[in-house]
């Protein structure tokens, strides 16, 4: 079973796991008004494709899928993230519609966009929305969905359906990890789903990712590099493998070693 074959209930269960932690079979059966056998089949399907792990009486996220908190991520390599954000903001035309997804670097992009005129921003990222509260000239559309406290965003079917109402000029996306062969990766199914939806409903895709993403280990595939217009980064790994993969995919690379002029 692939990602696209999950039922709406299975996607909801994944979102619950990510937002609230471990879930129990009896409680899930009551929540969805189905039998425990039905919930066990859902859990088995999720575990078989690696999106969850069983324990006695319930289900939880795979151990390797846990990401650190959004506040901790924002503090990592923050100077490089601010340079990346400034370059992305400089590339976005005033009057554009911009979809902004999950990730700490995306939050910095919102900060850099506060001076833009006539923007329409669509986001599920609470920190993006809060940052743009200080820019009344920016029209902000916030998705509904299930709150993930650790990540300060909302996910799930409602969020995806809201993004699909727009066809943005730009999608600004982050990544849990980058891999020369696998492309863009993330830590959870709902994060990958959000990013895939933003990419599918935008003309130009800007990926914001510093060099540390090449050494991180995330297990959920998002998209190959060929689905990304431009990677904005501080630098690339010195071995040249990443640079070759991006070139082969036709993805432009903007190295953000200095602030834009």
- 52 vs 194, which has greater pLDDT? 194
Q: Read off the pLDDT of each residue in 39-49 and give the average, rounded to a whole number.
A: 88
- 87 vs 189, which has greater pLDDT? 87
Mean pLDDT of the chain: 88
- 50 vs 2, which has greater pLDDT? 50
Dihedral over alpha carbons 87, 92, 97, 99 (to 10 degrees): -20
Which of these ranges, 14-18, 89-93, 124-128, 214-218, has the smallest mean pLDDT? Answer: 14-18
Beta strand pairing status for 230-233 and 252-255?
A: parallel
Query: Is the pLDDT at 76 greater than 70, yes or no?
Result: no
- Please report, rounded to a whole number, the percentage of residues in the chain having pLDDT higher than 90: 60
Show the tokens assigned to 160.
Answer: 């995806």
Q: Read off the pLDDT of each residue in 64-92 and give the average, rounded to a whole number.
A: 69
Categorize the per-residue pLDDT at 135 as very low, low, confident or very high, splitting at 50, 70 and 90: very high
Q: What pLDDT is recorded for position 86? A: 95
Tokens 């300060």 identify what position? 152
Contacts of 111 (CB under 8 A, 6+ apart): 85, 131
Query: Is the pLDDT at 189 greater than 90, yes or no?
Result: no
Which of these ranges, 76-90, 109-123, 149-163, has the smallest mean pLDDT? Answer: 76-90
Q: Read off the pLDDT of each residue in 82-89 and give the average, rounded to a whole number.
A: 95
Whether the CB-CB separation of 4 and 131 falls below 8 Å is answered with: no
Whether the CB-CB separation of 146 and 157 falls below 8 Å is answered with: no
Show the tokens assigned to 219.
Answer: 């297990």
Categorize the per-residue pLDDT at 261 as very low, low, confident or very high, splitting at 50, 70 and 90: low
Query: Is the pLDDT at 71 greater than 50, yes or no?
Result: no
Query: Is the pLDDT at 115 greater than 80, yes or no?
Result: yes
Contacts of 190 (CB under 8 A, 6+ apart): 11, 14, 15, 18, 155, 156
Q: Read off the pLDDT of each residue in 155-167 and give the average, rounded to a whole number.
A: 94
- Identify the sign of the CA torsion 54, 57, 60, 64: negative
């Amino acid at each position: 079973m692939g990602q696209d074959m999950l039922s709406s209930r299975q996607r909801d269960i994944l979102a619950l796991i990510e937002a609230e932690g471990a879930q129990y079979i009896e409680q899930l059966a009551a929540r969805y008004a189905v039998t425990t056998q039905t919930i066990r089949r859902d859990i088995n399907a999720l575990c078989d494709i690696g999106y969850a792990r069983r324990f006695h009486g319930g289900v939880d996220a795979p151990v390797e899928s846990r990401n650190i908190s959004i506040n901790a991520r924002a503090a990592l390599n923050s100077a490089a993230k601010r340079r990346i954000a400034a370059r992305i903001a400089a590339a976005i035309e005033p009057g554009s519609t911009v979809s902004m997804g999950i990730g700490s670097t995306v939050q910095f992009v919102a900060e850099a966009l506060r001076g833009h005129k006539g923007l329409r921003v669509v986001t599920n990222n609470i920190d993006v929305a809060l940052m743009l509260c200080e820019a009344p000239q920016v029209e902000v559309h916030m998705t509904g969905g299930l709150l993930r406290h650790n990540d300060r965003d909302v996910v799930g079917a409602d969020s995806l359906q809201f993004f699909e109402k727009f066809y943005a000029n730009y999608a600004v996306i982050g990544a849990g990890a980058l891999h020369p062969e696998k492309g863009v990766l993330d830590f959870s199914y709902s994060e990958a789903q959000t990013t895939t939806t933003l990419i599918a409903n935008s003309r130009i895709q800007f990926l914001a990712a510093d060099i540390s993403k090449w050494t991180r280990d995330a297990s959920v595939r998002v998209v190959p590099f060929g689905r990304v217009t431009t990677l904005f980064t501080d630098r690339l790994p010195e071995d040249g493998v990443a640079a070759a993969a991006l070139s082969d995919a036709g993805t432009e690379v903007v190295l953000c070693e200095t602030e834009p002029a």
